[in-house]
Amino acid sequence: MIHKRRIGGDNRGIGMTSPGTRERLVQRLREHGIADERVLKAILQVPRHEFVDEALSSRAYEDTALPIGLGQTISQPWIVARMTEAVMDGGQPQKVLEVGTGSGYQAAILAQLVPEVFTVERIKELLRLARRRFHRLAMHNIHARHADGHLGWMSQAPFDGIVVTAASRSVPEDLLEQLRVGGLLVMPLEERGGGQRLLAIRRTEQGYERTDLGGVIFVPLLSGLE
């Protein structure tokens, strides 16, 4: 079952932010292997231009990462779609944690598909801006918190899915413990020889099963608050 969320305001866009431009992005994602139509529909519905600076709005529907200030980026739409598709694999999660709110775009995509989305961000200014976007777009099923992502959100655990939008050398133990048995954690891990791999880690009764989803480039997962 797809959980439809009303997106408030008039966010249809014109020109390079128009519905036609969004449809072309969705078609590119489909051609590059994104197969879950629920995810593609969410990409179509969410106005990505609302999550970038106005000066970059004409590039919002390019399949590329864009700067959002403070040394952070809004992820490439293909990466957002791939991570969302992975966490949706095998069922309908009811409760998902995102680590690294950033612009809020990944959380907004998840909010079209999951009844409850919890997201944590260590940079207070980014979180303030993301909350403002969630409010403007009437995304009331997103719960945001200023916190160290390594620690997750223990009081709301367990989660059916966890999406980490920054790379680490290892999977934080606290996040694994907050994953429900049968749930899936999707995050980029740094390799010893350089580079990063996107992994899907499923918790089972016996332990954890890892699937390599390919090479990626993410900002590092840092500790502490800012």
Domain boundaries, the chain: 15-216
pLDDT at residue 40 greater than cutoff 50: yes
Query: pLDDT band for position 77 (50/70/90)?
Result: very high
pLDDT at 2: 43
How far is it, in rounded angstroms, from Cα 191 to Cα 193?
A: 5
Inter-residue contact 68 to 103 (CB < 8 Å): yes
Q: What is the pTM of this model?
A: 0.92
What pLDDT score was predicted for residue 13?
55
Task: Report the pLDDT value the prediction gives residue 4, as an integer from 0 to 100.
Answer: 47
Query: Cα(74)–Cα(50) distance, rounded to whole angstroms?
Result: 11
Asked about 170 being catalytic, the answer comes back as no
Q: Which residues pair with 146 in a beta bridge?
A: 121
**11-20, 53-62, 89-98, 194-203: lowest mean pLDDT where?**
11-20
Out of 18, 58, 75, 223, which one is annotated catalytic? 75
The four Cα atoms 147, 151, 153, 157 give a dihedral, to 10 degrees, of 180
**What is the rounded average pLDDT of the residues 205-217?**
95
Residue keyed to tokens 């200023």: 146
pLDDT score for 1: 42
DSSP H helix total and E strand total for the chain: 6, 9
- When pLDDT is cut at 50, 70 and 90, the band that residue 19 belongs to is confident
Fold of 15-216: Rossmann fold (3.40.50)
Question: What mean pLDDT is predicted for residues 13-24?
Answer: 76
Least confident of 105-109, 169-173, 190-194: 190-194
Q: What is the mean pLDDT of the chain?
A: 92
The Cβ of residue 193 has, within 10 Å, a number of other Cβ atoms equal to: 5
